[in-house]
A and B are shown apart, each in its own frame.
Chain A
């Protein structure tokens, strides 16, 4: 499974847009890119998943360049409640036996008032 690299921490203020970039140079052809959010003492929560180009849902956007060696999670107008750890994962999650996910250290996002 491709290893991912993310910034350890980021700070932002309420109302700003936050972009968290993840590097995954060894991504395989069948790999998808998935982002999770985790609050203390809770299980990770699915945010968004993509394969290429741009994916958008009600909470975030995911930008993936053509070479797929990196991806950027974009959170529009963050609030204090967005303070959490964000994990970028790469893997072939479509196959049950290949659905194992190996978490990196994640990015601690802190939103200030």
Chain B
């Protein structure tokens, strides 16, 4: 299957700082990628759709000024959590599809102190 990577795998930051998470499709090009967030013992929640060359589409209730998404190339999407707070601590996962089936990255564990 297709491979999606994320970097970093885990990050710890201080409250008020910004954190960037990268999502890469390693063996295919993806005009669209998706970002999810998962809190402990809960299911994945779709945050936004990242579109190459255009603005991201955010799900209802997700602050687009807080979660900045950039999809500058066909293999890379980045999620920046701006002015992070402890409540932003979560597991962030991206996905992409080469042909209709979504493949997920390994996730990034964010801890905001």
Total interface residues on B, using CB and 8 Å? 26
Tell me the bound Cα distance from A60 to B42 in angstroms.
25
Residue in A42, A93, A101 whose CB lies within 8 Å of B107: A42
Query: A106 contacts which chain B residues (CB < 8 A)?
Result: 43
Query: B28 contacts which chain A residues (CB < 8 A)?
Result: none
15 A–B pairs (Cβ distance < 8 Å), ordered by A: A41-B107, A41-B109, A42-B107, A43-B4, A43-B95, A46-B101, A93-B102, A99-B32, A99-B49, A100-B34, A100-B49, A101-B95, A103-B45, A105-B43, A106-B43
Q: Which residue of B lies closest to A101 (CB)?
A: B102
Minimum C-beta distance from B59 to chain A (A): 8
Total interface residues on A, using CB and 8 Å? 24
Query: A97 contacts which chain B residues (CB < 8 A)?
Result: 32, 49
B residues 1-20 touching A (CB-CB < 8 Å): 1, 4, 6
Tell me the bound Cα distance from A46 to B102 in angstroms.
8
Q: Residue among A42, A49, A99, A105 with the most chain B CB within 10 A? A: A99
Tell me the bound Cα distance from A106 to B100 in angstroms.
21
A residues 41-58 touching B (CB-CB < 8 Å): 41-46, 49
List of 6 A-B pairs having minimum Cβ-Cβ separation, nearest first: A43-B104, A94-B100, A96-B32, A103-B44, A103-B43, A44-B104
Residue in B6, B34, B102, B105 whose CB lies within 8 Å of A34: B102
Tell me the bound Cα distance from A95 to B99 in angstroms.
9
Known interface pairs A87-B43, A100-B34; A43-B105 also in contact (CB < 8 Å): yes
A102 at interface by CB-CB < 8 Å: yes
Tell me the bound Cα distance from A45 to B104 in angstroms.
7
Residue interface mask B72-113, A partner, CB < 8 A = 1: 000000000000000000010101010111111111010000
Query: B101 contacts which chain A residues (CB < 8 A)?
Result: 34, 46, 49, 93
B46 at interface by CB-CB < 8 Å: yes
Tell me the bound Cα distance from A30 to B97 in angstroms.
17
